[in-house]
Structure 1
Amino acid sequence: MKRAILASLSALLLSTAAAAETVSFTDPRGDDHGDGALVYPTNPVFRPGVFDLVTFKATPEGDGLHLEFEMAAPIRNEWNMAGGFDVQMFFVFIDTQPGGHSVGLPGLNIAFAENSGWERAIVVSPQPFERVVSEIRKAGDLAPNVIPVEGVSAADHTISAYVPLDKLPDLPLENWGFQVVVQSNEGFPEDNDLLTRRVNEFEGEYRFGGGVDGNCDPHVVDVLGGSGQLSYDCGTTMATIQMIRASDG
Structure 2
Amino acid sequence: MMRISSKAIVITVLLMMLCAATTFVQAQDAVNYYYEEGAWLDIADNIGDDKGPGYYQYPLDKRLRRGTFDLKRFRVYEEGSVVVFEIQMRNYIMREWPDTRKSEDQGFVANMWDIYIDIDGRENSGYQMALPGRDLMFSGNLGWEKVVIITPLSEFEVFDILRNKTDELDFQNRVDDVVYPDYVRVERDKMIVKIAKSKLPGISERSGYQCLAMGYNRIVSPNRLLNRDVRGFPTFDDFGGGHDSYGDPPVMDIIVPEGEDQYKLLRDFRSEPYRENIRYASVPFVFAGGKKHAPGMKPVVKEPAATLGINIPPPAIIPPPTAPTAPTAPLKPILTPRPTAPVKPAPIATQNSSGFVPLKPVASSKPKEGFKPIPKAPDGFIPVKKKD
Whole-angstrom CA distance in 2 between matches of 1:65 and 1:125:
18
The counterpart of 1:161, out of the listed 193, 196, 200, is 193
What is aligned with 2:325? none
Q: Confirm whether residue 242 of structure 1 aligns to residue 284 of structure 2.
A: yes
Q: Distance in 2 between matches of 1:152 and 1:17?
A: 20
Rg larger for: 2
Matched position secondary structure for 2:92: coil
Residue number in structure 1 paired with 2:117: 94
Is 1:67 paired with 2:109? no
Kindly indicate whether the alpha-carbon contact (under 8 Å) linking 2:43 and 2:290 is maintained by their aligned counterparts in 1: no
Q: What do the CA deviations read for 1:159-218 (whole angstroms, capped 9, x no partner)? A: 111111101032422x01110011111112333522111111110111111111212111
Distance 1:96 1:20 in 2: 19
Distance 1:190 1:40 in 2: 22
1:41 corresponds to which of 59, 70, 77: 59
| Cα deviation code 1:62-103 (max 9, x no counterpart) | 322111110001112224112222111110001122221110
Which structure exhibits the higher relative contact order, with contacts defined as CA atoms closer than 8 Å and separated by 6 or more residues? Answer: 1
Map of 1:224 onto structure 2 = 255
Q: How does 1:79-228 map to 2 (within 5 A)?
A: 79-97=102-120, 98=122, 99-137=125-163, 138=165, 139-173=171-205, 175-191=206-222, 193-225=224-256, 226-228=262-264
Deviation of residue 28 (structure 1)? 0.7
Q: Please say which of residues 187-196 and 32-41 is displaced more in the overlay.
A: 187-196
Task: Could you tell me which runs of 5 or more consecutive residues in structure 1 were left unpaired when the two chains were aligned.
Answer: 1-15
* Change in CA separation of 1:80 and 1:151 when aligned onto 2, cut-off 3 Å: same
Distance, in Å, in 2 between the alignment partners of 1:129 and 1:192 is 22
**Pairwise CA distance, 1:17:** 7.4
- Do 2:119 and 2:203's aligned partners in 1 also have CA atoms closer than 8 Å? no
- 1-side partners of 2:283 and 2:36: how far apart? 28
Give the stretch that moved more between structures: 20-29 or 155-164.
20-29
* % identical equivalent positions: 27
TM-score (norm 1): 0.87
Question: Hey, which bits of structure 1, 4+ residues long, moved more than 3 A?
Answer: 189-192
Does the CA contact (< 8 Å) of 2:41 and 2:289 recur in 1?
A: no
**1:233 to 2:270 alignment:** yes
- What letter matches 2:219 in structure 1? F
Q: Which has the higher strand share?
A: 1
- What does the per-residue CA deviation read over 1:36-71, in whole Å, with 9 as the maximum and x for residues that have no partner? 111111112211101000101112123221111100
Higher mean alpha-carbon deviation, 84-93 vs 109-118, is at 109-118
Q: How far apart, CA to CA, are the structure 2 residues paired with 1:210 and 1:17?
A: 42
Query: Could you list the runs of 5+ residues in structure 2 that have no partner in the other structure?
Result: 1-33, 166-170, 257-261, 272-276, 292-388
Relative distance call for 1:55 and 1:128 in structure 2 (3 A) is same
Q: 1:4-32: CA deviations, max 9, x gaps?
A: xxxxxxxxxxxx97624442111111111
- Matching residue's letter, 2:155: F
Contact 2:86 2:192 in 1 (8 A): yes
Compare 78-87 and 33-42 and name the one that shifted more.
78-87
The one-letter code sitting in structure 2 at the alignment partner of 1:84 is G
CA contact (8 A) 2:247 2:279 kept: no
CA RMSD of aligned residues (A): 1.9
What SS does the aligned partner of 2:159 have? Answer: helix
Q: Which stretch shifts more, 136-145 or 206-215?
A: 136-145
